[in-house]
Amino acid sequence: MTRVIPIASSGSCPFKRAAEIDFMDPVVQENWFTAYDILRDEAPIYFMPQIGMYVLTRYDDIEYVLRRPTLFTAGPDVQDKEPLIKHAQARDLYEQKGWRRYTSLGENLPKHKHYRALVDPKLTLAAIRNKEPFIRGVINELIDTWIYRGEVEFMKEFAEPLPMIVIGELLGFPRMDLPKLKEWSYAWVLPFSRGLSLEQEIWAVEKHIELQHYIFDAIRDKRRAPKDDIITHLTQVELFDVEIDRHRPLTDTEIIGIADHLLIGGNETTAFAIANGLWLLFRNPTTYQALQTDPTRIRNWVEEVLRIESPTQGLFRHVTEDTDINGFNVPKGATLSIRYGAGNHDPAKFPDPVTPDLERKNAGRHLAFGIGEHVCPGATLSRYEQWLAWEVLFDRVRNMRPVPEKDDYTHIPGFWLRALKQIHMRFEKA
């Protein structure tokens, strides 16, 4: 079993110095925050030989990088250098059977902002607010299925289906396709855990190609019979293409890439945020009590969950010219591992970072959704789902507590995402 160190512990730490920390080590992955604290103190910009990247753990350094999207790019140059699918045999399947694994939203400037201009208007607060009755309805329906049982595996029966149903509705996918979408979505994120075997990569790519065909069929249907959903919207809008200096419709490859990015972005991370929030609640009974008595503090709670238990712990940036970050030289061509989770635990920015504080003034300044050019377009949707989920949970469910004999509350090993394997809870009906 993976060794677990309580979040604020320092005593029994298996690694004490930066040089002992390897981000591919499952023990480090279970104990990110201890590792980040050591790196931030000893070497806040640290070249980690095991992964061949510069790791950034200080809030200010991360912000500096994210605010300079031309000097530090997120786009295809990084993806070409660090291909997500490592085995060429698995990668080739895209060409043979599907579409390129291409996400327009992962482009660099100046292209990037034109893609975002097509997507962002569908994910504004006003657009999401229109969906509130639907989202609330889904939350209540899910709770109805287990409220009389007194016990639930919360990940499978609440945290995962909620965002999946919601993003499926926004994209315009029928609800009955949910199980397939879930499996495809799991396959899409699987390569992010790194170190997959050839067989695992082939499985993940084949599932992704099934998803691409599914979206392609939806595009064809919606071109024929438009609906009020994001895929229809993408078939109707025109992109300003900087290469030809005029507007044009999106290609099927572009729509497939945007839709699958939104589908996956829209569910895995939000599911992890909701589940991580419950785990944080289990460990902080005073906060739980404060929320139960005063639900107006839920918004701050959600920010604290996102900050303390950031579902996306880190992503890449590519260095486009020799430069320095806070006086530390980084060469052109280097890859940076930006650790949002570490910036969010930086005590210089967030005093007593491991403790949820419902009065924290800068709670919303966390990096869980990134910042700058590539800031998450789904942040409002995700926050809204979490606000409503907690509101209804605090209203209908009492005394939520862990079930230690069934669950060790450890995480799926992984480099980028922080995801509990499962989360069993007992409770009483309100």
Give me the residues that bind ligand HEM (CB under 6 A), please: 66, 74, 105-106, 116, 123, 167, 261-262, 265-266, 269-270, 273, 311-312, 315, 340, 368-370, 374-378, 381-382
The enclosing H or E element of 168 equals: helix 161-171
Supply the minimum distance, in Å, between the C-beta of residue 26 and ligand HEM. 22
- The two counts, helices (H) then strands (E), for the chain are 18, 12
**H-helix segments, 190-242:** 198-224, 230-236
| Lookup: tokens for 112 | 């990037």
Of residues 189 and 291, the one with the C-beta less far from ligand HEM: 189
Shortest Å distance, C-beta 312 to ligand HEM:
4
Question: Closest CB to ligand HEM among 87 and 113?
Answer: 113
Instruction: Name the residue whose CB lies closest to ligand HEM.
Output: 378
DSSP for residue 19 = G
- Closer Cβ to ligand HEM, 201 or 303, answer by number: 303
Count other C-beta atoms under 10 Å from residue 50's C-beta.
Answer: 11
Question: Closest distance between ligand HEM and the C-beta of residue 262, in Å?
Answer: 5
Nearer residue to ligand HEM within complex by CB, 212 or 269? 269
**Minimal distance, residue 402 CB to ligand HEM, in Å:** 22
Rank residues 74 and 342 by Cβ distance to ligand HEM and give the closer one.
74
Region label for 43, one of left (φ > 0), alpha (ψ between -120 and 50) or beta (otherwise): beta
Cβ nearer to ligand HEM, comparing 93 with 381: 381
Burial of 200 (0-12, 13-18, 19+ CB in 10 A): middle
Pick 42 or 373: Cβ nearer ligand HEM? 373
Query: What 3-state DSSP class applies to 77?
Result: helix
Residues 14 and 27 sit within 8 Å (Cβ to Cβ): yes
SS3 sequence of 112-157: HHHHHHHHHHHHCHHHHHCCHHHHHHHHHHHHHCCCCCCEEEHHHH
Shortest distance, CB of residue 398 to ligand HEM, whole angstroms?
26
Q: How many CB atoms lie within 10 A of CB 183?
A: 13
Supply the minimum distance, in Å, between the C-beta of residue 266 and ligand HEM.
4
Q: How far is the CB of 296 from ligand HEM (least distance, A)?
A: 21
Shortest Å distance, C-beta 221 to ligand HEM: 21
Q: Are 171 and 122 in contact (CB under 8 A)?
A: no
CA-nearest of 61, 63, 14, 57 to 39 is 57
Give whichever of 31 and 103 is closer to ligand HEM, judged by the CB atom: 103
Maximum pairwise Cα distance, the chain: 63
